[in-house]
């Protein structure tokens, strides 16, 4: 009797272990299953901004979705709840340019601060230097945006419109050169001196 009881318990434990192993394998199989789009099932909703697994990568990543992020600046705009397609696209485009403006403004302001501190010996006090950086940053950003382009659109399953705005690093660098040549005297420098220092700093920053 003891031997029979022991065998019964042993079979039960073995069956439970096999069942648990089968459940674990089944769950693991579901997590690893990949659909036709190449996205893992169960993760699609988390990694898709629009709900479409085939959306362009820039929709959720912006400029980080491109290999040329060092050569170009990007801004993404979104428009929802507008039934007129032309107005919806125009709104998304404007918001993309607004986002691009923020990107350019941040980049240019940081660059000019570094430029002023590392490349230029000026007798401006802190408030004067801050004012100079702020005004030239605004001028560069606004003028550069004129040359920006809307390079792509995407409409999500729910009707949301996404727009992608782009401007090249070369365009921004060219505008920096133009503005610095115009305002070099404020730094008590010749245009050639200001541009030489600017080009050195631009080359360093572009390689980062």
How do the domains of the chain map onto residue ranges?
Answer: 59-207
Specify the higher pLDDT residue, 105 or 197.
105
pLDDT-derived band at 36, boundaries 50, 70, 90 = very low
Which pLDDT score is estimated for 161? Answer: 96
Asked whether residue 50 carries a pLDDT value surpassing 50, the answer given is yes
Question: pLDDT by residue (tens digit) across 108-120?
Answer: 999 999 888 877 7
pLDDT-derived band at 47, boundaries 50, 70, 90 = low
- Provide the whole-model pTM: 0.72
Q: Mean of the pLDDT values across residues 145-158? A: 94
Asked whether residue 43 carries a pLDDT value surpassing 70, the answer given is no
Task: Classify 59-207 by CATH class.
Answer: alpha beta
Q: Mean of the pLDDT values across residues 164-178? A: 95
Which pLDDT score is estimated for 26? Answer: 38
Which pLDDT score is estimated for 118? Answer: 76
pLDDT-derived band at 73, boundaries 50, 70, 90 = very high
Q: How far apart are CA 129 and CA 183, in angstroms?
A: 13
């Amino acid at each position: 009797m003891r031997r029979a009881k022991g065998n019964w318990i042993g079979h039960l434990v073995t069956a439970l272990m096999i069942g648990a192993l089968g459940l674990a394998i089944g769950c693991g199989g579901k997590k690893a299953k990949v659909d036709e789009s190449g996205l893992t099932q169960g993760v699609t909703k988390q990694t898709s901004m629009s709900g479409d697994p085939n959306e362009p990568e820039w929709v959720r990543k912006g400029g980080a979705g491109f290999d040329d992020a060092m050569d170009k600046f990007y801004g993404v705009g979104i428009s929802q709840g507008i039934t007129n397609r032309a107005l919806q696209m125009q709104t998304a485009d404007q918001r993309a340019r607004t986002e691009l403006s923020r990107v350019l403004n941040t980049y240019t302001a940081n660059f000019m601060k570094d430029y002023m501190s590392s490349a230029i010996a000026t007798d401006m006090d802190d408030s004067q230097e801050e004012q100079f950086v702020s005004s030239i940053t605004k001028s560069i950003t606004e003028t550069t945006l004129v040359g920006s382009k809307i390079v792509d659109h995407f409409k999500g399953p729910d009707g949301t419109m996404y727009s992608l705005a782009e401007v090249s690093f070369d365009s921004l660098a060219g505008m920096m050169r133009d503005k610095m040549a115009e305002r070099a005297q404020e730094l008590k420098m010749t245009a050639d001196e200001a541009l030489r220092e600017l080009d050195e700093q631009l080359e360093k920053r572009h390689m980062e």
